[in-house]
A = this chain, B = another copy of it.
């Protein structure tokens, strides 16, 4: 199949949001997606973009995406945090996920960033197997907290 991996454009935000919801449903958190297409459009493009996204397009449809932002580590300085990497079920097994991850690694390299970090669910065995190729190390001791701002 003709799958093209390319930088995301504003016209992609509606399809990207659908894929975000698909991924959240797989993570048993479909009801957690509060982001709007407008936020995605405002935050991802132009001079002050907060994230970088790449998409996989096959026969005019988006079938996968990867999305990252620059995080700041007081141990290592700037790191690329890959927030999402997703390929829709019908298009798995074609190395599209690897290609989308490679785009983020290339972006990191061009930006002088030496590490890419991410999170996986501890029960997501397909993802854990996928990342084995990439010399990954895990820090299972850290737990994530979230506080509402009032």
Interface size on A, residues (CB 8 A): 60
Q: Is the pair B136, A119 in contact by a Cβ cutoff of 8 Å? A: no
A34 to nearest B CB, angstroms?
5
Using Cβ atoms and an 8 Å threshold, which residues of chain B touch A59? none
- In the complex, the chain B residue whose C-beta lies closest to that of A24 is B75
Using Cβ atoms and an 8 Å threshold, which residues of chain B touch A43? 72, 77-78
Residue of B23, B32, B75, B139 near A144 (CB, 8 A) is B139
Within 8 A of B (CB), among A69-92: 69-81, 83-84
Q: Is the pair A77, B135 in contact by a Cβ cutoff of 8 Å? A: no
CB of A5 closer than 8 Å to a CB of B: no
Copies of this chain present in the complex amount to 2
Q: Is the pair A139, B143 in contact by a Cβ cutoff of 8 Å? A: yes
Within 8 A of B (CB), among A82-126: 83-84, 105, 108-109, 113-123
Contact with B along A17-59 (1 / 0, CB 8 A): 0001001100001001111000100010000001100000000
Can you list 14 residue pairs at the A/B interface with Cβ under 8 Å? Answer: A20-B74, A35-B77, A43-B77, A50-B72, A69-B72, A109-B149, A109-B150, A114-B149, A116-B147, A120-B145, A121-B142, A131-B147, A138-B145, A139-B143
Name A's B-contacting residues (CB within 8 A): 20, 23-24, 29, 32-35, 39, 43, 50-51, 67, 69-81, 83-84, 105, 108-109, 113-123, 131, 134-150
